[in-house]
A and B are shown apart, each in its own frame.
Chain A
Amino acid sequence: MRFEENKSGDVLVAKVLDGRIAADVAPRFKAHLAEYVSQGNLSIVLDLGEVTFIDSSGLGALVSSLKSMGKDGDLVIAGAHGAVASMFKLTRMDKVFRMYANKDEAIAALSVTALP
């Protein structure tokens, strides 16, 4: 899978550059997110603005990553739209992940969270 990464303070913004997150790439997707966590990133914005399709395997990989971060980590979603946003809502994952319209809103929210 292809990602584009940028840091904004302590917040890692990872943009998924592929249009699909499905069963064929879910293990690599999960491994990639695990790598971010193992590198010490505990505030991650996952930008799904380019993603047009996600299935249950993709959502499962996201949940697995969230669990691996534990209570001290933040994994939030930015830019989910159309069928992707609908999948989060259908599966109630929109109650699990904080969802933001775009990465800037997500960064701002995580930066506020990180304040002492």
Chain B
Amino acid sequence: MSRFRLTIESNLNDVFLVSVVSRGVCERLGMSAAETSAVEVCAVEAVTNAIKHAYLARRGHEVSIEIRSHAERLDLYICDKGEQMPAAHAAKLLRGSRVFEFNPFDLTAIPEGGMGLQIIYQLMDEAVYSTEAGINCLRLTKFLKVAKPRGVPEALPDAVDVCLEPTHGTF
């Protein structure tokens, strides 16, 4: 098992770093373009949720993203120390919701929000949310289905940690 950890400030302007890292890891592992995009968008949705809902969009807190690659699967752990996700929302990660079952011809029925968890539910193979000792963690799992192309490393370098200082501004 290899792992990569990124810690960012609870600042939506920094979430693009999650895209860069998750995409880079998936590509390095030889995952398909569709799987790579799926992992990227789910990682972004999860981190955005943590910033918006766990930290109520307040800056100055940490969100960590740890990516662990195994022979048969990729796990992402998105963790924060903010408000716990309501049980009803966490249940959507396990059972899904009907947010996309709208009538497209009824403008009022089309959702403007509440889509992130369902996107995760549909794109990831597993999504499990838990809280322990004040730390909320969402584990996202994607089972690896594709053969790694020649020349692509079997795994990431061991235990790489990246911790970015809070920027308090935009890049």
Number of interface residues, chain B, beta carbon within 8 A = 29
Which residues of chain B have C-beta atoms less than 8 A from A59's C-beta? Answer: 115
Contact, CB under 8 Å: A96 / B116: no
Q: Nearest chain B CB to A37's CB is how many angstroms away?
A: 14
Contact count A vs B, C-beta below 8 Å: 74
Known: A53-B19, A55-B48, A86-B34. A23 touches B113 (CB 8 A): no
Contact, CB under 8 Å: B115 / A53: no
B143 at the interface (CB under 8 A from A): no
Interface residues of A (CB under 8 A from B): 20, 22-24, 53, 55-57, 59-61, 63-64, 66-67, 70-71, 82-83, 86-87, 90-92, 95-96
Given contacts A20-B19, A22-B12, A60-B111, 16 further A-B contacts (CB under 8 A): A24-B12, A24-B13, A24-B16, A53-B19, A56-B113, A56-B115, A56-B116, A60-B112, A60-B113, A61-B112, A90-B100, A90-B122, A92-B100, A92-B104, A95-B104, A96-B110
